[in-house]
Amino acid sequence: MFKPPVISDRLRRVALVMSVILLVVVTVILLMPVPEGEGRLPRHVDKIVHFAVFFIVAFPAYVARMRFWPAILAGLVVYGGAVELIQPHFGRSAEFADFIANSLGVIAALPCAVWFRTRRQSKTRQHAQRDRPE
């Protein structure tokens, strides 16, 4: 069974709060109506933005609660799909390609969060060994 690297409780709390705040901000942004002809990005740039936004939401969630990564992954993928389905009710368009970009952002954040936590854990160990009295 996967045992996530240990991080401090303070970092865990900060990451969890960041993730919740980012999720609220992303929800508001993704459901804001875009006036016709304004704010439209070229198709490929739009997909990069969707990928990045969901990566940014998922990363601190994984850092905060790595043990629950399957639930975080599934929850954010479902959330990304739900947002796409709801967008037409807010004057936006729903695109399957956006859903794919959202999902890929969530998936890509997982190995980055594992790397981050592993690095933090090794730095914590180094500081503890250095500070230990002989």
16-50 pLDDT per residue, tens: 999 999 999 999 999 998 776 655 677 689 899 99
Looking at residue 9, its pLDDT comes to 85
Domain membership flag for residue 120: yes
Does the pLDDT of residue 69 top 80, yes or no? Answer: yes
Domain membership flag for residue 134: no
Domain membership flag for residue 58: yes
Looking at residue 91, its pLDDT comes to 86
Q: What is the residue range of 58's domain?
A: 9-30+44-129
Contact present, 102 and 84 (Cβ < 8 Å): yes
Domain membership flag for residue 1: no
Domain membership flag for residue 87: yes
The two three-digit tokens of residue 45, written as one number? 């740039």
Which DSSP symbol is given to 41? P
Domain membership flag for residue 85: yes
The two three-digit tokens of residue 51, written as one number? 């990928």
Domain membership flag for residue 38: no
The mean per-residue pLDDT over the stretch 117-121 comes to 82
Domain membership flag for residue 50: yes
CA separation for the pair 48, 53 (Å, rounded): 9
Domain count, the chain: 1
Contact present, 129 and 16 (Cβ < 8 Å): no
Which pTM value belongs to this model?
0.82
The mean per-residue pLDDT over the stretch 85-107 comes to 94
Contact present, 77 and 24 (Cβ < 8 Å): no
The mean per-residue pLDDT over the stretch 74-79 comes to 98
Contact present, 98 and 50 (Cβ < 8 Å): yes
pLDDT confidence band for 12 (50 / 70 / 90): confident
Average pLDDT in the chain: 86
